[in-house]
Amino acid sequence: MQHFPLNRAFTLLEPGPVTLVTTHDGQRDNVMTITWTMVLDFEARFALSTGPWNYSWQALVNTRECVVAIPSAEMLDTVVGIGLCSGRDTDKFEKFGLSRHKAGKVKAPLLSACLANIECRVVEVIEQYGIVVLEGVAAHADPHREQRSPLHAIGDGTFVTDGRVLDRRVMMRPKLPPSVL
């Protein structure tokens, strides 16, 4: 993972990839799958959408730090698996054999296998809408990331990468809203 210019970090999220968001609650690392993110500004300001039902929420709100990582398509089953269990009772790094390494400016870890990692501070939590406003403070990218592709979630248990549809509807069934079953 190499240094990536912070003022170009928006180009990592602007295409709308699935992300993995790591936190550190003071004692343990955790990671969640987040597909709802948005760029807010070229100068490394982003938003993500989640809520208190998510175990990572407390760590995010209390520590006001996280890492937004962009997994590659080969990581699909890990990405889906992470979304299906909770840090409340599971060490997801162990369960999925996820390598992490120390970030420079936040306590949440970087994910070594991802295409890129953005270390972020929480600027504001807009609770009414579950919007977390983030400011990037450092970014890192795999120098060979262009040989791999990110994932785009459709939201019905299917994903698209390079125009190919990858179907994980059966696996994701417990987490999908009834409207898409």
Which residues are near a second copy by CB under 8 A? 5, 7-8, 10-11, 14-17, 35-42, 45, 47-49, 124, 126, 129-131, 133, 149, 152-156, 160-163, 177, 179-180
Task: Tell me if 122 sits within 8 A of 72, measured CB to CB.
Answer: no
DSSP lists the bridge partners of residue 149 as: none
Report the residue number, 41 or 91, with the smaller CB distance to a second copy. Answer: 41
C-beta of 98 vs 139, nearer to a second copy: 139
Cβ distance to a second copy smaller for residue 49 or 112: 49
Least distance (Å) from a second copy to the CB of residue 83?
Answer: 13
Give the separation between CA 39 and CA 178, rounded to whole angstroms.
29
Three-state DSSP state, 171: helix
Rounded distance, CA 77 to CA 99, Å?
Answer: 15
Nearer to a second copy, 36 or 96 (CB): 36
CB closer to a second copy, 123 vs 171? 123
What minimum distance in Å lies between the beta carbon of 121 and a second copy?
15
DSSP string, 91-119: -HHHHTT--EE--SSSSSPEETTSSEEEE
> C-beta of 3: minimal distance to a second copy in Å?
14
Left if phi > 0, otherwise alpha if psi is -120 to 50, otherwise beta: which for 97?
A: left
Q: Closest CB to a second copy among 86 and 149?
A: 149
Name the minimum Å distance from CB 36 to a second copy.
Answer: 5
Q: Are 4 and 14 in contact (CB under 8 A)?
A: no
Beta strands 29-34 and 164-167, pairing class: unpaired
Cα 126 to chain centroid, rounded: 19
Please provide residue 170's backbone torsions phi and psi, each rounded to the nearest 5 degrees.
Answer: -65, -50
Could you tell me the smallest distance in angstroms from the CB atom of residue 84 to a second copy? 17
Q: How far is the CB of 50 from a second copy (least distance, A)?
A: 10
